């Protein structure tokens, strides 16, 4: 998996946290998704690494507050159109 | 540091020691809901742990392990030329725990004894130091003791650590041998102090000796940063070690990881395409016992040992510091692997 549309990326995030894609928009915050707790962060980091080969900087890890930040990371790494 | 090579050392025996007190995360936890316990233990892969309680220290566990392995090998105490104690849970700020254990084991005054203050990465470092001493001459037999009692610095209300950690000690006996009789050993040793506060006990040391916040006397772990560090550094560590030693992963019988967390370990294995049968995981019964988890896995991981040749093992430590290290070593057919338990109701006398 190397390149996604925003819709596909939202589905990927939704699948990661086991929520419906309809529940997610770029404005969705971490606190809005119960599975996106401290363990959910590990799931997200592992998913970015295994599915896209993206390993984040520590600053990136600390800066993720919601879906839009994840989309931004994917975009910066050339995985999102 | 570039990859380091040593020659002329052999592992004569390894013994681990855990306390008898067993804590079942599912039935003995009262701090968390069933759902939280299910979630954390499912991800970490820790069903139960051994706990030192208030009376047992790393030195006690290591002393028992050392006594057992010295007895099994028939090594007299005065034949030990060096004792390296790797721990971040020492008995005292001073003296060094190595000196305390030196006394308990009845070692001679010609024996060098010192502590190494490393945690999760400490075992490969300890083996490297001992092998360097053996290679250098003068030291014929060495003991590397690695013990940790992380349950004693865990905040019981912090689910990120309190359901994860277990306690263990170990003793590894090494001796010099004809370099032609054993393979060369390889090590990669790394540090990144910029992450010193990713896992830290803030109070109790001389930076904040008598801090009044009890939580600061317990470990604070930023799980996300530690995980991020791990997926960034450990795959490169494995590749560096294989390349430097001129071997491939198929030449290695077992990759003995620091038992950090099942989720992390499985991710690393998938990323490196390591077959699960080459990566023993003992988290289920013992939890994360810090760097002592490597010798604990060597003795509890049910390693299959061929009759006709030595095992080739890659030991991988990574975590607090931040510090990470590997050791590619051999374990010959004669080497003894042993485990023992320490009854928590008794403390080894000083």
Q: Which of residues 204-233 of B touch A (CB under 8 A)?
A: 223-225, 227-229, 231-232
Which residues in chain A have their CB less than 8 angstroms from residue B43's CB? 39, 42
Q: Is A1 part of a structural domain of the chain?
A: no
User: ipTM, 2 decimals?
Assistant: 0.89
Assess whether pLDDT exceeds 50 at residue B349: no
Indicate the residue of B229, B263, B271 with minimum beta-carbon distance to A42. B263
pLDDT at A38 (0 to 100): 86
Instruction: Indicate the average pLDDT of chain B.
Output: 94
Query: What percentage of chain B has pLDDT greater than the value 90?
Result: 85
Exposed (0-12), middle (13-18) or buried (19+): which is B178, by Cβ within 10 Å?
Answer: exposed
**H-type helices in B209-291, by residue range?**
223-245, 262-272, 283-286
Residue B77: what pLDDT? Answer: 97
The answer to whether B224 contacts A50, with C-beta atoms less than 8 Å apart, is no
**How far from B134 is each of A17, B231, B311, CA to CA, in Å?**
52, 34, 21
User: Is residue B17 among the annotated active site residues?
Assistant: no
pLDDT of residue B346: 56
Question: Range with the lowest mean pLDDT among B25-34, B40-49, B295-304?
Answer: B25-34
Summarize pLDDT for B247-304 with one digit per residue, the tens: 999 999 999 999 999 999 999 999 999 999 999 999 999 999 999 999 999 999 999 9
Q: Which residue from B192, B81, B87 is spatially nearest to B136, judged by alpha carbons?
A: B81
CB-CB under 8 Å, A61 with B271: no
Distant-in-sequence, close-in-space partners of B205: CB < 8 Å, separation ≥ 6: none
Alpha carbons B295 and B145: distance in angstroms, whole number: 10
pLDDT at A1: 53
Query: Number of folded domains in chain B?
Result: 1
Residue B350 within a domain:
no
Contact list, B262 vs chain A (CB under 8 Å): none
User: Where does the pLDDT of residue A5 fall: very low under 50, low under 70, confident under 90, or very high at 90 and above?
Assistant: very high
Going by C-alpha positions, the residue among B319, B350, B336 that lies closest to residue B125 is B319
The enclosing domain of A31 has a CATH number of 1.10.1200.10
B257/chain A closest Cα distance in angstroms: 18
Of all residues in chain A, the one with the smallest CA distance to B221 is A38
Q: Do B270 and A50 make contact, defined as CB atoms within 8 angstroms?
A: yes
Is the model's pLDDT at B36 over the cut of 90?
no
CB contact under 8 A, A42 and B225: no
What's the CATH number where B197 sits? 3.40.47.10
Q: Are B127 and B172 in contact (CB under 8 A)?
A: yes
**Which of the four pLDDT bands, split at 50, 70 and 90, describes residue B32?**
confident
Predicted confidence (pLDDT) at residue B56 exceeds the cutoff of 80: yes
Instruction: Return the closest-CA partner of residue A76 out of A64, B62, B294, B121.
Output: A64
Domain membership of residue A18 (yes or no) is yes
Per-residue pLDDT at A66 exceeds 60: yes
Cα–Cα distance measured from residue B160 to residue B171, given in angstroms and rounded to the nearest whole number: 29
Residue B322: asked if its preceding bond is cis (omega within 30°), the reply is yes
Q: Work out the pLDDT band at B128, boundaries 50, 70, 90.
A: very high
Q: Kindly list the residues from chain B whose CB atom is less than 8 angstroms away from the CB atom of residue A58.
A: 195, 225, 228-229
Write out the residue range of the structural domain in which residue A41 sits: 6-76
Do residue B231 and residue A55 have CB atoms under 8 angstroms apart? yes
Q: Is residue A41 part of a domain?
A: yes
Give the pLDDT confidence score for residue B1 in this predicted structure.
66
Tell me phi and psi for residue B286, to 5 degrees.
-120, -15
Chain B environment of A55 (Cβ under 8 Å): 228, 231-232
Residue B85 lies in a domain: yes
Residue B28: the pLDDT is: 86
In a domain, A81, yes or no: no
**What does DSSP assign to residue B29?**
-
A38 contacts in B (CB within 8 Å)?
A: 160, 223-224
Does the active-site annotation cover B120? yes
Chain A and chain B share a number of CB contacts under 8 A equal to 42
Interface probe, candidates B38, B159, B228, B267, chain A, greatest A C-beta count within 10 A: B228
The alpha carbon of residue B276 is apart from the nearest alpha carbon of chain A, in Å, by 17
Quick: pLDDT tens for B8-22: 999 999 999 999 999
- Residues from A contacting B (CB-CB < 8 Å) are 38-39, 41-42, 45-46, 49-50, 55-56, 58, 61-62
Q: Cα(B222)–Cα(B136) distance, rounded to whole angstroms? A: 40
The answer to whether the CB atoms of B160 and A38 lie below 8 A apart is yes
CA-nearest residue of chain B to A41? B224
Per the residue annotation, which of B120, B146, B218, B261 is the catalytic one? B120
Interval B265-280: pLDDT, tens = 999 999 999 999 999 9
Q: Which domain holds residue B128?
A: 1-343
| pLDDT tens profile B182-224 | 899 999 999 999 999 999 999 999 999 999 999 999 999 999 9
Active site residue B261: no
Taking residues B64-78, report their average pLDDT: 98
Strongest mean pLDDT among A34-38, A41-45, B314-318: B314-318
DSSP H or E segment with residue B86: strand B82-86
Average pLDDT of span B104-126: 98
Give the closest of B225, B229, B267 to A50, CB-based: B267
Distances (CA, A) of B182 to B269, B298, B333: 28, 19, 12
A25 belongs to a structural domain: yes
Partners of B232 on chain A (C-beta within 8 Å) are 55
Could you give phi then psi for residue B320, rounded to 5 degrees? -45, 135
DSSP B320: T
On the question of pLDDT at B311 being above 70, the answer is yes
Q: Is residue B164 part of a domain?
A: yes
pLDDT tens figures, B74-90: 999 999 999 999 999 99
User: Tens digit of pLDDT for each residue in B313-343?
Assistant: 999 999 999 999 999 999 999 999 999 999 9
In a domain, B64, yes or no: yes
Is the pLDDT score of A55 beyond 80? Answer: yes
Number of structural domains chain A divides into: 1
Distance, CA of B89 to CA of B49 (rounded, Å) = 17
pLDDT at B27: 86
Query: What average pLDDT score do residues A63-77 get?
Result: 94
């Amino acid at each position: 998996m190397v390149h996604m549309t925003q819709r596909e990326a939202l589905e990927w995030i939704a699948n990661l946290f086991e929520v419906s894609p309809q529940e997610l928009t770029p404005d969705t915050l971490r606190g809005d998704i119960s599975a996106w707790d401290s363990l959910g962060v590990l799931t997200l980091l592992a998913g970015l690494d295994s599915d896209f080969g993206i390993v984040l900087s520590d600053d990136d890890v600390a800066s993720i507050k919601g879906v839009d930040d994840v989309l931004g990371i994917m975009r910066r790494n050339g995985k999102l159109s | 540091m570039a990859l380091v090579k040593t020659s002329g050392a052999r592992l004569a025996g390894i013994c681990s020691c855990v306390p008898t007190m067993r804590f079942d995360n599912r039935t003995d936890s009262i701090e968390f809901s069933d759902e939280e316990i299910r979630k954390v233990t499912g991800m970490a892969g820790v069903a139960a742990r051994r706990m030192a309680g208030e009376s047992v220290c790393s030195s006690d566990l290591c002393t028992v392990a050392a006594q057992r392995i010295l007895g099994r090998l028939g090594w007299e105490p005065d034949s030990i030329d060096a004792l390296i104690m790797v721990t971040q849970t020492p008995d005292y700020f001073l003296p060094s725990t190595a000196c305390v254990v030196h006394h308990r084991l009845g070692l001679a005054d010609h024996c060098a004894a010192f502590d190494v203050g490393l945690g999760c990465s400490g075992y490969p470092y300890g083996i490297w130091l001992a092998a360097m001493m053996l290679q250098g001459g003068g030291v014929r037999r060495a003991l590397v003791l690695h013990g940790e009692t992380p349950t004693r610095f865990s905040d019981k209300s912090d689910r990120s650590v309190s359901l994860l950690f277990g306690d263990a000690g170990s003793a590894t006996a090494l001796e010099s041998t004809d370099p032609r009789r054993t393979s060369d050993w390889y090590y990669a040793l790394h540090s990144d102090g910029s992450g010193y506060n990713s896992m830290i006990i803030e109070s109790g040391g001389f930076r904040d000796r008598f801090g009044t916040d009890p939580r600061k006397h317990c470990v604070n772990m930023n799980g996300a940063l530690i995980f991020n560090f791990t997926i960034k550094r450990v795959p490169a560590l494995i590749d560096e070690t294989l390349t430097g030693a001129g071997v491939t992963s198929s030449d290695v019988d077992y990759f003995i990881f620091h038992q950090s967390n099942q989720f992390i370990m499985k991710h690393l294995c998938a990323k490196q395409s390591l077959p699960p049968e080459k990566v023993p995981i003992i988290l289920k019964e013992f939890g994360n016992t810090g760097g002592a988890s490597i010798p604990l896995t060597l003795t509890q991981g049910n390693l299959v040992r061929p009759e006709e040749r030595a095992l080739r093992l890659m030991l991988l430590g990574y975590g607090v510091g931040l510090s990470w290290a590997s050791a590619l070593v051999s374990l010959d057919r004669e080497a003894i692997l042993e485990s023992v338990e320490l009854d928590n109701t008794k403390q080894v006398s000083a």
